[in-house]
Structure 1
Amino acid sequence: MARHEVRLAGFGGQGIILSGYILGKAAALYDGKDAVFSQSYGPEARGGACAAEVVIDDDAVDYPVLTRPDILVLMSQEAAIKYSADMADDAVVLIDDDLVTAGAGRMVYGAPTTRIAEEMGRRLVANIAMLGFLTGATSVVGRAAMEEAIRTTVPPKTIDLNLRAFGAGFDHGQRAVS
């Protein structure tokens, strides 16, 4: 695996920052990779565009800042507008296709991650469904590593729900790229 620069973006309250943390944790603690995580968000507590950025590499990360993200995860239209400009020409773009309209000319895969979460009775796990979609559609981090990172991060009473949301997203990711 080469260096991967992953940007996850959405609006405040969707769990975007937590998603970046879990992705970095999965890579660094459970998948034997090096990872660096950073976050950015506006002054709004909820509702404004925010992003989590994770650099993942088999070797030591020598430059911890995204230069040209090769994987972009979008969970809101505002975030798509704000955070898409600097992505690599061959970037893989993963969207919640109920909330984001795909731009032309990119490798774009969509899954209804918010709807998946709503059907499970907890919209709050849409971010975890999206992590499943990311894991199923790319080779950035292994499934077992991501599941362990989820298991050791979310509140104990929500582990099963989060793992179900992850699994549903993962299945969508596998189908999207097959």
Structure 2
Amino acid sequence: MNNITRLVFSGSGGQGVITAAVILAETVVIHEGRNAVQTQKYGAAARGGATRSDIIIADGTINYPEVIQPNILVTLTQEAYNSYSSIVRPGGLLLTDSRFVETAKKVDAKKIELPMYDQVMDKIGKPIVYNICMLGTLIGITKLISPASIMKVLAKRIPADFLSMNERALDIGLGFGEHYNYKI
């Protein structure tokens, strides 16, 4: 059986949505022994414009690289939520940042709203690692991949001067996520 998980990360340029998706896909393929594909879309402006990244994770073949109806939808801005909240699969997971997103629409998904950005700013003081906190939160909630696996990719991709800050952001996210459970 080909177990497939479809994810959409959405936000605005500069939030690291696409970087987080690339890190997740790379971790899955290199350290988790599964298949993954990642695609991305940008809005009119590279920084500040809307961004979306699709990730498909599968035990077997992936036949189409874009996500139509994700099991997991992450929205980090109100614009992203307004644009994509209707596409989350019934029974799926909708993860939002409570600082930036008001979840007014009714969706047939488990909604988890957390102040990820505020925690990053309170504990680290640098918004550059917001995306890694989001990724840690998602991993903590879903147990989709091993935190040790993602740390291996971070150690390879992140400059040494920024690695400990990214590790802290991942830990903050994992701490958020451990209080929730979502079975994929």
Q: TM-score range by the shorter chain?
A: over 0.9
How big is the shift at 1:95? Answer: 1.0
**Superposed counterparts of 1:1-178, under 5 Å:** 2-102=3-103, 103-105=105-107, 106-119=109-122, 120-177=124-181
Corresponding letter in the other structure for 1:175: H
How big is the shift at 1:62? Answer: 2.4
Corresponding letter in the other structure for 1:98: R
The count of corresponding residues between Structure 1 and Structure 2 is: 178
SS of residue paired to 2:87 = coil
- Paired with 1:26 and 1:100, the residues of 2 have a C-alpha distance of 28
Give ranges in structure 1 of 5+ residues lacking alignment. none
How big is the shift at 1:128? Answer: 0.5
Contact 2:88/2:94 (8 A) holds in 1: no
- Paired with 1:79 and 1:155, the residues of 2 have a C-alpha distance of 29
TM-score (norm 2): 0.91
Corresponding letter in the other structure for 1:62: N
Deviation track 1:16-71 (CA, whole Å, cap 9, x = no partner) reads 11011011011111111100000001121211111111000112222222121010
Contact 1:113/1:127 (8 A) holds in 2: no
* CA-based RMSD: 1.5
How big is the shift at 1:83? Answer: 2.1
How big is the shift at 1:116? Answer: 1.8
Question: Which has the larger displacement, 95-104 or 47-56?
Answer: 95-104
Deviation track 1:61-100 (CA, whole Å, cap 9, x = no partner) reads 2222212101001111101111223221111011111111
- Paired with 1:112 and 1:146, the residues of 2 have a C-alpha distance of 22
SS of residue paired to 2:148 = helix
Question: Which has the larger displacement, 30-39 or 59-68?
Answer: 59-68
TM-score (norm 1): 0.94
